[in-house]
Homo-oligomer: A and B are copies of this chain.
Amino acid sequence: MNDAPAWIAVDWGTSSLRVWLMDAQGGVIRRHDSDQGMSRLGRADYEPALLDLVGDALPDGTSVPVLVCGMAGSRQGWAEAAYAATPCKPPALSQATRVTTADPRLDVRILPGIKQDRPADVMRGEESQIAGVFARHPDFDGVVCLPGTHCKWVQVSAGEVVSFRTFMTGEIFALLSRHSVLRHSVDDGWDDDAFAESVAHALSRPAGLAADLFTLRAEGLLHGLSPANAHARLSGLLIGLELAGARPYWLGQQVMVVGATGIARAYSNALAAQGLSPLQTDAEDITLAGLTAAFTAHRETTS
């Protein structure tokens, strides 16, 4: 069967599912995006959700390897994959947890996340993006910044994850902009200057955050602050607070920001304003490169 995948790469996060059907030469046969993330699924829903996307491509009489990273490996996910502990290399297929499936055409393995003992921290999925950074930039030593709902700052050296810290900035932003009194003050607009000024403000005065946030509401009521400006300032205050807290990670370091658009671009701009020249890399490319590296590492050690 000409189009049968050699293996399938899966990034299964909290809110999304991304699948790549791979050929034997490392090329992508086809890819799928889906909203069937962990938060929508019970344990029994994972196999049907996957078969929905790839079932038509699975040949009978054999099983296709499926390598999964992300929250599908959490306790509330498809099957719990134990964490590797820092300092460590990003986990490879040989460390993955086998999942029993009803369909014999699937051979599913879930990659471990990485944990850190003190300060306590965990990642699931980002370790595969780190593996992708190593695959694409073999000489990179420094700090990888992975913006998102829970932004991670990861110190890497010699192909290992040395230490990391997770900041809940993205989730706090979403809660404040959609569910707090500030929802009346913001819209989807943006203002680069307002963002930059608020980053600088929060970096120098992080303790005032909860008051500076209310100022956005009050300036809207009293001085007609525009919703676009308020939106950019809300983001700037929260990212500025994060940069103040993450300063040991980026000060004087080579930083690579994963992602080149949207919020990742905002992080890059904020770091540039602090005199850094952050590298940028495409998030999807890095993720697939990392899953490929994890899959290939296994083949090299077992073939």
A binding-site residues for B, Cβ under 8 Å: 75, 115-117, 119-122, 150, 165-169, 171-172, 175-176, 179-181, 205-211, 213-215, 217-219, 221-223, 238, 241-242, 244-247
**B172 close to A181 (CB less than 8 A):** no
Nearest residue, chain B, Cβ from A151: B210
**A213 close to B168 (CB less than 8 A):** yes
Nearest residue, chain B, Cβ from A213: B168
**B211 close to A245 (CB less than 8 A):** yes
Known: A176-B175, A179-B175, A180-B175. A210 touches B120 (CB 8 A): no
**B180 close to A210 (CB less than 8 A):** no
A175–B180 CA distance with the chains assembled, in angstroms: 8
Residues of chain B lying within 8 A (CB to CB) of residue A205: 245
Most buried by B among A115, A180, A247: A180
Jot down 14 A-B pairs with beta carbons below 8 A, ordered by A. A75-B221, A119-B211, A120-B223, A121-B214, A121-B215, A121-B218, A122-B218, A166-B211, A168-B213, A168-B214, A171-B180, A171-B181, A206-B206, A211-B242
Residues of chain B lying within 8 A (CB to CB) of residue A150: 181, 214
Q: How far is the CB of A38 from chain B (nearest CB, A)?
A: 12
Copies in the complex: 2
Most buried by B among A122, A208, A223, A241: A208
Most buried by B among A166, A168, A175: A168
Known: A166-B214, A210-B238, A245-B210. A222 touches B117 (CB 8 A): yes
A232–B238 CA distance with the chains assembled, in angstroms: 23
A165–B214 CA distance with the chains assembled, in angstroms: 9
**A207 close to B247 (CB less than 8 A):** yes
Nearest residue, chain B, Cβ from A216: B120
**A245 close to B209 (CB less than 8 A):** yes
Select A211's contact among B165, B171, B221, B238, beta carbons within 8 Å.
B165
Known: A179-B175, A210-B242. A222 touches B169 (CB 8 A): no
**B175 close to A219 (CB less than 8 A):** no
Known: A176-B172, A244-B207. A167 touches B214 (CB 8 A): yes
Q: How far is the CB of A83 from chain B (nearest CB, A)?
A: 8
Q: How far is the CB of A112 from chain B (nearest CB, A)?
A: 13
**B222 close to A120 (CB less than 8 A):** yes
Nearest first, the 4 A-B pairs at minimum CB distance are A207-B244, A120-B218, A206-B207, A167-B210
Q: How far is the CB of A181 from chain B (nearest CB, A)?
A: 7
